[in-house]
Structure 1
C-alpha cells in the first residue's frame, strides 16, 4: 500500500484575495466544485492506497478534518507543525510517522494545491514508478511541458532504468525566458511537479545522509509529540531547532538515487491568476468569467466575483485579471499576476487586515463573518455545524444579542438553558456565562449583534470547550 502524504501549508499570497494566510488556496474552490485539498485527497484513494497522512498547521487543523469528512476520507493521521519550515521538515516528519505505523510502507509526498485534469492517468504514473521505489529509488514526477514556462523549476532526465523510468540528471532552477525556450526544445526536460514516491525507509536514510540537522530535530519533535483531539502535535521546543529548507535543496539535489517518471497529462500548480485563467473555461474571445460578472468588449481576461452581492463589470479589458470579494478587489495585468504576493506584502506592512485574514473566519464548530463593524458595535453571521457547540464563555467588554434565522439553537445564559427556533432571540448581558449549541441535524445560523467598548476576538474567557481551547 502507498501512503499519500498531503502537504497542506502555505502562506496564501499568490492567489490573493481569494487565498490568504488564514485560508490558503488549497482550501478554496479555485477550479471545480471541491477544494484543491479535497481533490488531492480524493485523487489518491482507492485500490493501492492507504489512508492519507496530512501535514498542516494549527490554524488549519479543523478545516482539514471538515473538508476530509466532506468527501468521506478518514486520515491515518494529521500532523500539526508548530510553524511552517518549508517542505523538508514536513517530508521527514511524515516519513517517520508513516514508518512507525508500517516500516515497509511506500509514501507519496504530494502538495495539496495542484490541479490534475486526469487523476487516473496520474495514478498510473505513480504505479509505473513503484518498481523503482521498491528498489530503493526516490521517484519524482516530471510534467511534459506545453510551453516555455519560467514560473516552474525543471528536471532533466537521463538514461532509462526501467520502462518509463529514467535516472534524474539534475534539478533546474526557475529559468529566464531564453533558458526556458531552450529547455522546452529538448524532450529530456520536464517541469518539476514536486511529487515524490519512495519507501519511508529510503527517505529516512536520505535525510540522515544529506540533512542530518533537519532529521535529528524533527525526530526529536516527533518523539516528544502530543496527541490532542486525534491530532499529533509535533513538540514546539524541539521544532525551534529545525532548519527551514525545501526537500529539493535539503535532499533531492544531493541524493544519487533519484529517478523520474514523465507524466504526459495536464497539470498545473495554480501558482498565479494567469494559471487559473489558463485552467478555466473561456468564451470565444478568451474570457474566463464566474457568476456575477459582466463582460463588454474584453479579450483574454479573467473576471471573478466571490460574492453574490458583488457584480463585477469589465469593459474593454485586454489580458487583465480582476477578482472581487466582499472586502477586497484586485485588478492586474495578466502578465503581472506573479507579483500579487508583492502587493500582499505591502498591505501587510500597512496593517491592512485583508492582507492575511479571510472574510469568513473558520472555526472547529463552523464559521462566522462580520457583516457590519462600527464604533462600539458589530454584526456577525454565525454558522454552527449540526451537533457542534461553541465554548462556555464570557466577555469583559461586550454584550450580545442573538437572533436565530435558521435551525434550532440551544442557548445557555448563566443558569438558564433554552431552545430558540427561527425568528426567536436572546440577550447576553456583559459578563454572563453563555454558550450556543446546535442540537439539530441541519446547520444553525444566527445573527449576532455585539455592543461594547471592545469587540476583539481575544475578549473571551473560556470555561469549557469541546476543542481543547481553554
Structure 2
C-alpha cells in the first residue's frame, strides 16, 4: 500500500466525552475543558480539529456526550470543519467502547480505514511535529501494528503513565516492551535516566478491523454491545444517537487495559511536540508560561511579593500579597485556593459538591444552549433574574411553565414573541409579560444578537419546569 493510499483512508477520531473535574471551577460537567479556550482564543476541541489540517483523510468522527452535542457541533462549525459525524454517547463507558463505536461506524463507510484517535482536551504546541509523527505512526499501523504515541519526557513526571520501548521497528518507532502505571518520584527519575521510557499520551493509530479483532479477543462484550448500540441507533438532526440500553452493557474500561497492555501488536512512535494533557492547574501553567517570578496569571490579577502561583480570574479582580506556590482560580460563583502541589486533589472538592447535591460543579452562571445562552444575575424567594442572549435566526422551544410567570425586557435587538394566540414584535426598551401556564416562544428574527432581561416569579423556578411542545433542536 502506498503512502498516499494510506493517507486517503485515514479516519480521525476525536474523543470529546470528558466530564470536566480536574480544572474546576473553570471546567464544569456541562462545560468541560475540551470546550474551553484555555490556551489561546480557540477551544481545545477546535485546536484538535485544526491540527488535522494537512493530514488528508476523512472528516473527523467525534464522540461526545449527549449533553455536549450542541457545543461540539457549534465549535466545529466555527472552525470550518465540514462533514464531521458526531456520535452521541448516552453515558461515559471509557475509551475502549468509544473507540469501538468509531471503528464500527468507520467501517460502514465501505472501507477499513486507519483510525487516528485523539483526545479533544490535549494541547500540542508544535502541530507540524505532531503531523510528522502521525505520518510515521501511519506506516507502522499500515503494517498491522496498534500504535500509540509516546511523549518524549521533559521531566521526571509522576502524573503520567509510562511506556518502555522494546525492539526497534525502524525510524517509525519500536515495539512496546511494557506499560507502567504512574510512578513515584524516584522511579520516574530512574525511567528518565534509563532513556528508553516515554510518557503515555493516550493517542493512537491503528486499522479499524485490527483494533476490533484484538478487542474481540480480549473483551468480546464490548464489541457485542457496541454493534447492538449502532444497529439500534437513530439520526437526530446532524447527530447519531446510539442506543442507550445496548451501550450501557459495554464494560467500562480504557483502551489501554482492554487491548494495548494485552496485545502482542502494540508499537510506539515517539512524539516531541510540546504535548500536555492539561490535567491540572499546574500543568496548564506549564503550557501558558510564567513571568519573572514564576507566576502564571490570566484575567484581572494583581500580585504583590508573590512567587510560583497560578492565578486565573474570570469576571473578578483577584489580588494577592506574599503568596507562595498557590493556585487561585476565581469564577463568578466559586473560588478555588489550593497548594499548587496538590491541585490534583480538586476532584475531592467536586465529589463533595456532588454528594451535597450542589450545582457549582455542573453549570456556570452562564449556561449555553443551542439558541444562545443565559446568565443568572440574581435570585431569591419566589424570583429569579436572568440575562438572555439569542443568536440571530435562533428560536427557543415553544413551551409553557406550570409554576412561574416571566417578564421580558428587551435590551438590544428585536424579539418575535408567541404569547398564547398572539404573535408580535418587541424592540429595545419594550417589555412583555408571560402568565403562568401560557404557551409561549421567543425568537430572534434579526441579524444581530438579541439581548433581554428575564424576571421569573412564582412558587418554583427550576429548569425542569419547562414543558416543550415544539423545538427546532429536537428537545421536545
TM bracket (short chain): over 0.9
Match of 1:306 in 2: 314
1:59-94 alpha-carbon deviations (Å, 9 max, x no partner) = 000000111111111243111111001111101001
Aligned match of 1:433 in 432, 439, 444? 439
Q: Does the alignment pair 1:353 with 2:359?
A: yes
Match of 1:379 in 2: 385
Distance 1:203 1:442 in 2: 48
Q: Is the 8 A contact 2:16 2:62 kept in 1?
A: yes
Distance 1:314 1:34 in 2: 29
Note the 1:157-236 alignment, pairs <5 A.
157-236=165-244
1:319-365 alpha-carbon deviations (Å, 9 max, x no partner) = 11100000000000100101000111112212221122232222111
Match of 2:22 in 1: 14
Relative to structure 2, which stretch is displaced further, 392-401 or 47-56? 47-56
Distance 1:213 1:350 in 2: 35
Consecutive unaligned residues in structure 2, runs of 5 or more: 1-7
Q: Is the 8 A contact 2:139 2:172 kept in 1?
A: no
Three-state SS of the structure 1 residue aligned to 2:169 is strand
Q: Does the alignment pair 1:463 with 2:463?
A: no
Distance 2:247 2:172 in 1: 39
Q: Does the alignment pair 1:52 with 2:63?
A: no
Match of 1:393 in 2: 399
Aligned match of 1:40 in 34, 48, 66? 48
Structure 1 segments, 4+ long, off by >4 Å, are: none
Q: Scaled by the length of structure 1, what TM-score is found?
A: 0.97
Match of 2:330 in 1: 324
Match of 2:147 in 1: 139
C-alpha displacement of 1:47: 4.2
Note the 1:282-293 alignment, pairs <5 A.
282-293=290-301
Q: Scaled by the length of structure 2, what TM-score is found?
A: 0.96
Consecutive unaligned residues in structure 1, runs of 5 or more: none
Three-state SS of the structure 1 residue aligned to 2:108 is helix
Q: Is the 8 A contact 1:11 1:24 kept in 2?
A: yes
Q: Is the 8 A contact 2:55 2:131 kept in 1?
A: no
Match of 1:278 in 2: 286
Q: Does the alignment pair 1:150 with 2:158?
A: yes
Match of 2:451 in 1: 445
Match of 2:135 in 1: 127
Aligned match of 1:339 in 342, 345, 361? 345
Match of 1:411 in 2: 417
Relative to structure 2, which stretch is displaced further, 408-417 or 88-97? 408-417
Distance 2:159 2:362 in 1: 23
Distance 2:421 2:119 in 1: 49
Q: Is the 8 A contact 2:386 2:455 kept in 1?
A: yes
Aligned match of 1:80 in 88, 110, 113? 88
Three-state SS of the structure 1 residue aligned to 2:399 is strand
